[in-house]
Amino acid sequence: MSAFIWPLLFLKPDVPLEDPSWKASDQLEFGSAFLYKNRISAETMLFLGRCVMIFLTLCRGLALAVWTRRRFGAPAAPGALAAGCEGDQRGALRLRGEQPGRSEVKPRSP
């Protein structure tokens, strides 16, 4: 079970099992029906899922900083935390189809 669905367990959204996309095993259509044709707004469900991701990232950053501080001393902890955050940034860029460290510069029109 994905960690992002934990908030949905408390919201108890409607699962449209009578939708034709469920019977046809069409994941995209069923996901769209679940998200946008629910009594709970899509914004609420997406926001709570993002909050889980933020919380898990903060926990990982804190654990990394504490471990680094114990292992290498206080001055090394912020550097390790920054290096860990840089990896997340690169992954986010790849998901958007961009190359890390490269900016797209468009040539000027004459």
CB-based burial of residue 44 (10 Å sphere; 0-12 exposed, 13-18 middle, 19+ buried)? Answer: middle
Q: Rounded to an integer, what distance in angstroms lies between the CA atom of residue 74 and that of residue 40?
A: 45
pTM for the model stands at: 0.61
Cite the DSSP H helix spans in 1-110: 6-11, 20-23, 27-36, 42-72, 76-95
- In this prediction, residue 50 carries a pLDDT of 84
If one compares 86 and 31, the residue with the highest pLDDT of the two is: 31
Average pLDDT over residues 62-77: 90
Give whole-number Cα distances, 2 to 6, 53, 65, 78, in Å. Answer: 8, 11, 25, 30
